[in-house]
Amino acid sequence: MEPDLNAVFDLVLRRNPGEVEFHQAVREVFDSLGPVLKKNPHYADEAVLQRICEPERQIIFRVPWVDDEGTIRINRGFRVEYNSALGPYKGGLRFHPSVYLGIVKFLGFEQVFKNALTGMPIGGGKGGSDFDPRGRSDGEVMRFCQSFMTELYRHIGEYTDVPAGDIGVGGREIGYLFGQYKRITNRYESGVLTGKGLTWGGSLVRTEATGFGTVLFANEMMKTRGESFDGKRTVVSGSGNVATYAIDKAQQFGAHVVAFSDSSGYVVDEAGVDVGLLRQIKEVERGRVSEYVARRPGATLVSEGSIWDVPAEVALPCATQNELHEDHAVALVKNGVKVVAEGANMPTTPKAVQLLQDADVLFAPGKAANAGGVATSALEMQQNASRDAWSFEHTEERLAEIMATIHHNCATTAEEYGQPGNYVVGANIAGFTKVADAVIALGVI
């Protein structure tokens, strides 16, 4: 790492103790930026690195609510408004017991560059709570969301900060959050949240967009080697929104998807995943993957080991951060993997990324490959601003164009900086330079 980068990274470590995911995210970007600083020394002179590593605003608040037994519960809420040089803060809310400030800052930092890559006028932010919606009744989730929004509403707005969903926050939660925002503000401000229901301001394709976009990006990578998804044995970690629609789109492209997972284990279905059944269990019934096995003859549930032990040519990690470790990468390479595209945020550890790249595996980092979700959120914001609604076909076409453009920009940037085929370097540099130039243009603020 260059001396200027080392000095700033040391500062990040000192000022943000214990936030290991945030440190990892910063290091991952900094490892790509040495050639950029040599070519553009004014970035260091203007303290752009320091400014980008410090969020513009960090909000932490108490969220009190009452469960169905009448017990008062207390959770902690977060919103990190990270960088608005390109537009209003934009990024999801995550409800999960693992959420703490370091997780939210890592996600916000990643979001800044991801949003820049989309080409849309949106900055980066992230938020959430350590509340766990799993196993809670609709009434409990509603009361929590209403309490959460009672504090958050004062910090957001369609020209300020536009949250969306993430892990634990789907259409149900967005509905409760938007309803409380509308009630408090007395404004039907559709553009304040994205991921809304189709009957009250949502956009077609938004539900599918992150998973679809991951597959679209992976397909663009494969085209560079004269290949496609057709007939390729594929494994997808997770079984939530991103994983489900990654499976769906991969199958549309002819892939043979044989495995998916949740926290209880992974399912192997050699006949090919029945995505309709998976959606019914996960989206409608909010069940576990064991219920898929109970209804799907020939499918098996494996509770030990890792989904990455399943032989595959294409691997799509779509569950959570740091789920694919070095030993998993070794197994994937041994079993003949050709493509790994991140549907989740930072799901592959740094050593695993290096191992995959050294084995000449096409590797797509999440800030590029999973940008389809936030890109379609920006399209939802466009529709809200114009009081319009686009067809599924038109919106999906826009998504495909955006993902192809992200791929092109990552590929050409990597080549410009002497590392052709390195999508990590391409994504980091392309995202960083766009944000850095805007930070300088707006002055010292």
Q: Would you list which residues are annotated within the binding site?
A: 90, 111, 114, 165, 210, 241, 377
Q: Which of 339, 348, 345, 274 lies closest to 312, judged by CA? A: 339
Residue list, annotated binding site for NAD(+) = 210, 241
Residue ranges at the known binding site for substrate: 90, 111, 114, 165, 377
User: For 425, what's the count of Cα atoms within 13 Å in the CB-facing half-sphere?
Assistant: 21
Q: How far is CA 147 from the centre of its chain?
A: 25
Q: How many C-beta atoms surround the C-beta of residue 169 within 10 A?
A: 27
| Cβ(126)–Cβ(77) below 8 Å | no
What's the full length of the chain, in residues?
A: 445
* Strand pairing report for 72-83 and 57-66: antiparallel
- Using only C-alpha atoms, the chain has a radius of gyration, in whole angstroms, of 21
DSSP 3-state assignment of 309? helix
Q: Which of 55, 121, 129, 60 is nearest to 90 (CA)?
A: 121
Q: What gap in Å lies between CA 216 and CA 341, rounded to an integer?
A: 10
Is 249 a residue of the active site? no
Nearest in space to 307 (alpha carbons), one of 344, 354, 359: 344
Neighbouring C-beta atoms of residue 234, cutoff 10 Å: 27
* DSSP-assigned letters across all residues of 90-121: EEEEEE-TT--HHHHHHHHHHHHHHHHHHTSS
CB 75 within 8 A of CB 65: yes
Task: Please provide residue 69's backbone torsions phi and psi, each rounded to the nearest 5 degrees.
Answer: -90, 0
- Among candidate residues 421, 426, 425, the one with its CA nearest the CA of residue 359: 421
Q: Is 17 exposed, middle or buried (0-12, 13-18, 19+ CB in 10 A)?
A: exposed
Position of tokens 């040495």?
34
DSSP 130: S
Among 126, 249, 367, 434, which one carries the catalytic annotation?
A: 126
Distance CA 8, CA 336 (A): 39
Alpha helices in 119-240 (DSSP H): 138-152, 171-185, 206-223
Catalytic residues: 126
